Amino acid sequence: SQQGEEDPQALSIQEGENATMNCSYKTSINNLQWYRQNSGRGLVHLILIRSNEREKHSGRLRVTLDTSKKSSSLLITASRAADTASYFCATGASADGLTFGKGTHLIIQP
């Protein structure tokens, strides 16, 4: 069963605006990761945040983690057309690997 659930399922914004995606999960985790997938391609790792961390930054990306609410958010600032992709959260909780959500499809309008 899938642990992480992203919200919204789809998001369309204008270039230059900020995009926020949320992820909720059900059980205790060791870490939470965000991945990007361009159409027809493999997944690319964006950020890993561990359960004892609350916020992480990488370039235009900001990830927060609230373990009390079992939720995470991914913020992409100053969006670009190249950010158009699907974004997945994945939780690492046990030895059998990551559990992925269904993804948020982000469209950046020029």
Cα separations (Å) of 9 from 23, 72, 82, 102? 11, 15, 19, 8
Confirm or reject binding of residue 54 to another protein (CB under 8 A). no
Q: In this structure, which amino acid lies at residue 102?
A: K
Give the footprint of another protein on residues 10-39 (CB under 8 A).
30-31, 33, 35
Distance CA 54, CA 52 (A): 7
Among 27, 45, 58, 66, binds another protein (CB under 8 A): 45
Residue 100 interacting with another protein (CB under 8 A): yes
For the record, the structure tokens of 91 come out as 């939780």
Q: How many CB atoms lie within 10 A of CB 29?
A: 23
Q: Tell me which of 27, 28, 41, 58 binds another protein, using CB under 8 A.
A: 41
Residue 95 engages another protein in binding (rule: CB under 8 A): yes
Question: According to the binding rule CB under 8 A, does residue 107 interact with another protein?
Answer: no
d(CA 65, CA 46): 15
Nearest-approach distance from CB 19 to another protein, in angstroms: 19
**103 near another protein (CB under 8 A):** yes
